[in-house]
Chains A and B, each alone.
Chain A
Amino acid sequence: MHRSHLIAELLRLLAAGLLLISFAMLSRRRTQRLITLYAWQGAILFLSTCLVAYDAGLTELYYSAALTLLLKVITLPWILHRLIRRLGAQWDSEQLVNIPVTMLVGLALVIFAFGLAQPISMLATTITRHTIGIALAVILLSFLMMITRRKAVTQVVGFLAMENGLFFAATSATYGMPMVIELGIALDMLVGVFILGIFFFQIREQFDSLDLHHLESLRED
């Protein structure tokens, strides 16, 4: 009993850390820092999944934790770092809205997510049910990041962070998804990042920049 209490406490701490990193991502200007933060988010996810697996005694959750470590902490950040080095895009990413306003919108989103998650967490029976609100907030904040950034690379990082939030929501609500689905998602993400990487080069070749608002106007040729 005492052990599981301690684990629940640690999980809450990790969930808070996840939320903190989401906000740090919103406030960062440098793309490189963003990717480092993404890797940290993956690391926290790995730890929390391991803790849930230990508490619930589910071996398959260990596999998905290992998958998280391999993919989200090591492979994807490495690929992204290489990509932005080759694209020369490691510097400032333009924002549509200035940072304090983004932060305040983010705060409103967190309040919304917490309110929304309250009835859901009443239904769940897992040890992590109170953190559903945080998972939801992470998803919405990543959404916000995708909306407020202009550059392609940062939008992809936002997309990946959103997947992190979804994964965390899945572990906190239902002890994770079936292994097949998890593998499928992981593969999808990997392939997605590869394809988007190719896209980056194409976009840059066409417009000489990675700014996505060039894609919004139609051209007749």
Chain B
Amino acid sequence: MRAISLIQQFAEIVLAVAIAPLFAGWIAQCRAWLQNRSAPPLTQPYRMLRKLFHKDVALAANASPLFRLAPYVLFGTMVLAAGIIPSIATDLPFARAADAIALIGLFATARVFMALAAMDIGTAFGTLGARREMMIGFLAEPALLMVLFNAFLLYGSTALPSLVDGHATHPSVIDPSVIFAAIAFVMVLLAENARIPIDNPATHLELTMIHEAMLLEYSARHLALVEWATDLKLFNYACIGFALFVPWGIAIHGADSSSALLLAVAALVAKLILAGAALALIESLSAKLRIFRAPEYLAMAFLLAVLGLLVHLLLGANVNA
């Protein structure tokens, strides 16, 4: 293992942890502009985190150790996920340990801990949120897997870094299956990160909230960690999307000069700015679905991903025929 890959790995994780709140802030700002409100400053999430870290924790009397452990597990899994996803470079020592399927398992671990912690106190809202979250999760996961299978078929690997490498060396073929997979991925991203068609991150209305309902009992540094992990999750999903569909600019294996790394960081920031604006636009244009419509929405995502696979088998296999 060379020193440069370790440096890349370290830089990637630090970058992810540092700019994830910024990405969330950028989306919030875009949404505010689109809705004709005066926007909060970009640094709002950081201020929020700072405020929360300075407060004292208020714990429910019947909270078990699991409740206190969960925020750290959540944050830890998201940081680890950020280390596996090739956001700026593909030569990552951590990424060899886990392929994209293990990555989904990592997200599932975080979700299970979150749901358990939400049910731990025993309030009605926590349980409600946890149940809804598990419902969304079990519908969204197969769709996400199918999206990944599309990419696996295209480049013949299940590891995200080699997908990016494959894309860089592959001639620029626009495979029709990619469109299906990309649409399905955006749908899953919105559902998994509690964005608008499924959940509204800005509401505390009892009947509609999913993600927020699970956090109600958390305060101070625990809440800060959970919020940060939420931002990181969104960032991670965005980076998975970049790796699968628009991997241009990521420093590929072998190109490990520092200029390539700087270029990769610049490309990542540009992609994040565009993706954030696009997400805000989608969220502003769509209305929140009733919770019983959510299975329909996610079935659609699953179906699009499967269609992508089929179209790839029908059309893509014959590229050289």
Contacts and interface: CB of A to CB of B under 8 A. Distances in A.
Contacts of A110: 307, 310
A134 B310 CA distance: 10
A57 B238 CA distance: 44
B96 to A, nearest CB: 34
Main secondary structure of the interface of B (DSSP, over half): helix
Quick one: which of A9, A12, A15, A134 has the most chain B CB within 10 A?
A12
Interface stretch (A16-24, A48-56, A194-202): A16-24
18 contacts: A9-B174, A15-B176, A16-B180, A16-B311, A16-B315, A19-B307, A19-B311, A20-B180, A20-B304, A98-B296, A103-B299, A103-B300, A103-B303, A104-B303, A114-B310, A114-B313, A117-B314, A134-B314
Contacts of A111: 310
Contacts of B307: 19-20, 23, 107, 110
Given A111-B310, A114-B310, A23 B315 contact: no
Contacts of B314: 114, 117, 130, 133-134
Nearest to B311: A16
B295 interface: yes
A130 B315 contact: yes
Contacts of A104: 299, 303
Contacts of B174: 9, 13
Interface of B: 173-174, 176-177, 179-180, 183, 295-296, 299-300, 303-304, 306-307, 310-311, 313-316, 318, 321
A117 B315 CA distance: 12
B287 to A, nearest CB: 13
Given A12-B176, A23-B304, A134-B314, 19 more contacts: A13-B176, A15-B176, A15-B315, A16-B176, A16-B180, A16-B311, A19-B307, A19-B311, A20-B304, A23-B303, A23-B307, A100-B295, A103-B303, A104-B299, A104-B303, A106-B303, A114-B310, A114-B314, A134-B315
A99 interface: yes
Contact of A27 (B180, B183, B300, B316): B300
Shortest beta-carbon contacts, A-B, top 9? A16-B176, A100-B299, A12-B315, A103-B303, A12-B176, A114-B314, A133-B314, A13-B176, A99-B296
A106 B299 CA distance: 12
Contacts of A103: 299-300, 303
A131 interface: yes
A12 B303 CA distance: 19
